[in-house]
Amino acid sequence: MKIIDKFFKFNGGIKAETYKNISTTKSIQSIRIPKTLVLPLRQHIGKIAKLKVSIGEFVLKGQLLAEADGNVSAAIHAPTSGLILSMEKKLIPHPSGLPDLCLTLVPDGKDTWIEKIAIDYKKIGIEETIKGLRNSGIVGLGGAAFPSHLKLKSHQKNKIHTLMINAAECEPYITCDDMLMRENANELIQSIFLVQELLGAKKSIIAIEDNKPEATEALKISIADSGIEIKVVPTIYPSGDAKRLIFLVSGIQIPKEKRSSEFGIQMFNVATILSIYKYIIKGEPSISRVVTITGNVHKPQNYEVLFGTSLSELIKDAGGQIVKNETYIMGGPMMGFKLPSKEVPVTKAMNCVISAEPKMLAEKKEVLPCIRCARCAEACPVMLQPQELYWFSKSKQLEKAEEYKLFDCIECGCCSYVCPSNIPLVQFYRYAKSEIIEKARDTEEANIARERNDFRLKRIEREKQERAERNAQRRAQNTPEEKSKLIDEKRRAISEAMERVTNAEGEQ
Ligand code: SF4
Ligand code: SF4
């Protein structure tokens, strides 16, 4: 087993208080099956899943409820056995705060599995195995929710030499991957071998921040002499961003417009790779995940939770809030977002919920003018000029903002974090991005409408011409000269026919 401490430091980043040890004192807890489960049909990046069951139907645990629709989509399965009660729009955990289509399942309490069918990947081959994963419902559980079968297919286009496991978990407060590694190190190693084989990669590297010594120790024991490398990287936010982590580990700078697979590296999050193993080896689709419940609760900890469980159940199980408020943040404090309600269901992207602590809700600091101190530029891991981006976004000079690579911004929040003027820089960038996207959409729609209109005008002109030609032909056929020409032709045809008849009689 190889532990490598050498790393390549990326530009900027911040060293923030991590608040991780508050939720790692207890092992991962299970939670009882709730009275109802609310399952959004879109828990992934891409098209909403296509319904495969009817309202009133009884389903078994693990049964397919909705299948992936198109390539970038993911299936939804029943987290337990029970009755499909309804399909309607409900609040979901999404930054938009808008409701979306959800199935409500009433558990029967028996938790009866469908027949679990493992995939004999050695027998059916890698391509068929990856195709089969489209039905697994597995998406990136680090928060990105990108369908995993697509990532596994990357080796078809590019040769993958390295499988990298993203075990950095760099956002403050989040500890679900840390706890998974501590408690499931053996299974994680088996998962890595399996996915390495599926990708045809030559080696695997686990990249982990140095603030997880217990997990690193557990992995060391499980890895033994298997050849998997562990790369311990310093705790610098945002080391968990895929491109930053690849640079930290390998020194390879992946440009914004490129994917890591084009450089022979494919990355998976800890929980995602474990889910792939469970589906292939045990025949279990994606129906649950580990979620960190932390912050302003009496018992901050990690839970193994069925998708669809209401967040309020978890808050209750975590001992309830210490100080009552209604602010819950999904994800970390740097890149997370405020939830619209604590009644939202746990979904595949929900890695952590922070019940806001009073210090988080303390009166907002006064926003002061930019003093051009350049601290934001020093902190930016993408080497942007945040103060310029701020100025162009604020003054709506959107073309200039694009010129200054607004879309390279990963919204990590490092610039806002260090700004002495308390300027909420990321909010300005998000606003500017949405304005540009909106404008581009409007322009595209206007272009499509223009093209349609041009096409319509051309069609009308063509039809007009064709009509004119037909009329001209008809008119030409009706002139006295044309008429006599026609009569002559007919006469000639009749006399030729009579001649043929006369000749035939003569021969007889
Ligand atoms: S850190 Fe804040 S005050 Fe300093 S240059 Fe950047 S935006 Fe301006
Ligand atoms: S939010 Fe964007 S501009 Fe600010 S530090 Fe992160 S990448 Fe740079």
Query: Would you say 238 and 415 are in contact if contact means Cβ atoms under 8 Å apart?
Result: no
2-306 falls under which CATH superfamily?
NADH-ubiquinone oxidoreductase 51kDa subunit (3.40.50.11540)
Segment 487-495 mean pLDDT? 78
- Reported as a single tens digit per residue, the pLDDT across 343-365 is 999 999 999 999 998 888 776 78
pLDDT of residue 508: 46
d(CA 408, CA 347): 28
414 lines ligand 2 (CB under 6 A): yes
pTM: 0.85
Instruction: Specify the residue with its C-alpha closest to ligand 2, atom 2.
Output: 409
**Separation between Cα atoms, residue 401 and residue 226, nearest integer Å:** 49
* Predicted pLDDT at 253: 93
At residue 5 the predicted structure's pLDDT band, cuts being 50, 70 and 90, is low
**C-alpha 498 – ligand 1 centre gap (Å):** 105
Q: Tell which wins on pLDDT, 142 or 202.
A: 202
| Cβ of 390 below 6 Å from ligand 1 | yes
Q: Which ligand is nearest to the CA of 415?
A: 2
The encoded tokens of residue 49 equal 């899943």
b/e burial code for range 134-145 (CB count within 10 A of at least 16 → b): bbbbbbbbbbeb
Which two tokens mark 493? 């045809």
pLDDT at 1: 55
Ligand 2: which of 243, 370, 409 to mutate, judged by most atoms within 8 Å of the beta carbon? 409
User: Across residues 263-280, what is the average pLDDT?
Assistant: 96
Q: What is the pLDDT of residues 388-440, one digit of tens each?
A: 999 999 999 999 999 999 999 999 999 999 999 999 999 999 999 989 988 88
Which 3 state secondary structure label does DSSP give 104?
Answer: strand
The reply to whether ligand 2 has any atom less than 6 angstroms from the CB of 335 is no
CA of 189 to the centre of ligand 1 (A): 44
- 272 CA distance to ligand 2 centroid (A)? 26
pLDDT in tens, 192-205: 999 999 999 999 99
b/e per residue 338-363 (b: at least 16 CB within 10 A): ebbebebbbbbbbbbbbbbbeeeeee
For the chain, domain boundaries: 2-306, 375-432, 479-508
Give the CA-trace dihedral at 325, 331, 332, 334, to 10 degrees: -100
In this prediction, residue 494 has a pLDDT band, given cuts at 50, 70 and 90, of confident
Q: Of the given ranges (81-85, 155-159, 167-171, 195-199), which has the lowest mean pLDDT?
A: 155-159
Tokens 């009644």: give the residue: 343
Contact residues for 409 (Cβ-Cβ < 8 A; gap 6+): 382, 384, 389, 429, 433
